Amino acid sequence: MPHLALYTFGVLKSPLADPARHTREFHESGEAVYREIGQHPGYIARAEAADRSLGARTDFDSDWGEWGEFAVPAWYGKGRTVETTALAATLSLWTDLRSAFDAIYTGLHREALNRRYDWFERTGHPGYVFWWASDGVIPTWQDGVSRLEHLHDHGSAPHAFTFHHSFAPDGTPTRIKGIGPKSDKVR
């Protein structure tokens, strides 16, 4: 059975190394959010740096193992060093859309989403993308970047989609109660 891959990408208002209060708050909340999401039903795995002792703050230099070499969208124009990197990205696998939706829009992650405009720039690009990965396939960072750029350029399609315009593993459009444009909600 295919798994749902999720790639998220955001440009921070200041570099991760910046000691500014809002950057520190974002960074310090991350582990608790990841811990809570990791316990959520439907969560399978997420990309983590092989050497977590480094704190994976320098994503470009980390070894991500089977998740591949770290990559970012072509439009990301901020730094790529420890001092200048100003991004947050995740790559994860889920059993289904409902589980991902429930984990993202509840608990600590919901609280973080409520603060996203304190921490992230508004770039005019999508902040996340889903796609279905074959059973046993681990998506790579480059897969996530390619899907996010496809979503930006072409809109939602079975190849790359959002909660609001989602697709089943067979490529047919799907709607889940509570997900999607208000006029499209299943009642």
Residue 61 confidence (pLDDT):
80
Mean pLDDT over each residue of the chain, to the nearest integer? 89
Of the chain, the percentage scoring pLDDT greater than 90 comes to: 70
Confidence of residue 20 (pLDDT cuts 50, 70, 90): confident
Q: Are 45 and 131 in contact (CB under 8 A)?
A: no
Instruction: Name the one residue in this structure whose structure tokens are 């996010």.
Output: 148
User: Averaged over 35-40, what is the pLDDT?
Assistant: 96
User: Residue 128, SS3?
Assistant: strand
Instruction: Name the one residue in this structure whose structure tokens are 């809570």.
Output: 36
In eight-state DSSP terms, residue 21 is: H
Burial 136-154 (b: 16+ CB within 10 A, else e): eebbbbebbbbbbbbbbee
Indicate whether 57 pLDDT > 60. no
Name the residue with higher pLDDT: 148 or 23.
148
Give residue-wise pLDDT tens across range 84-125.
Answer: 889 999 999 999 999 999 999 999 999 999 999 999 999 999
Confidence of residue 176 (pLDDT cuts 50, 70, 90): confident
Indicate whether 46 pLDDT > 90. yes
For the ranges 90-94, 111-115, 170-174, 180-184, which has the lowest average pLDDT? Answer: 180-184
Q: Where are the alpha helices (DSSP H) in the chain?
A: 21-38, 97-104, 107-114, 116-119, 141-154
Q: Are 160 and 6 in contact (CB under 8 A)?
A: no
Largest distance between two CA atoms of the chain: 49
Q: Are 15 and 83 in contact (CB under 8 A)?
A: yes
Alpha carbons 84 and 23: distance in angstroms, whole number: 13
- Encoded tokens for 77: 């124009």
Q: pTM for the complete prediction? A: 0.91
Confidence of residue 185 (pLDDT cuts 50, 70, 90): very low
By C-alpha distance, which of 142, 86, 107 is closest to 32? 107
Instruction: Name the one residue in this structure whose structure tokens are 């990559």.
Output: 71
In eight-state DSSP terms, residue 52 is: G
Indicate whether 29 pLDDT > 80. yes
Confidence of residue 58 (pLDDT cuts 50, 70, 90): low
- Kind of pairing between the strands at 166-167 and 173-174: antiparallel
Residue 36 confidence (pLDDT):
96
User: Averaged over 44-57, what is the pLDDT?
Assistant: 72
Phi, psi of 3 (to 5 degrees): -115, 155
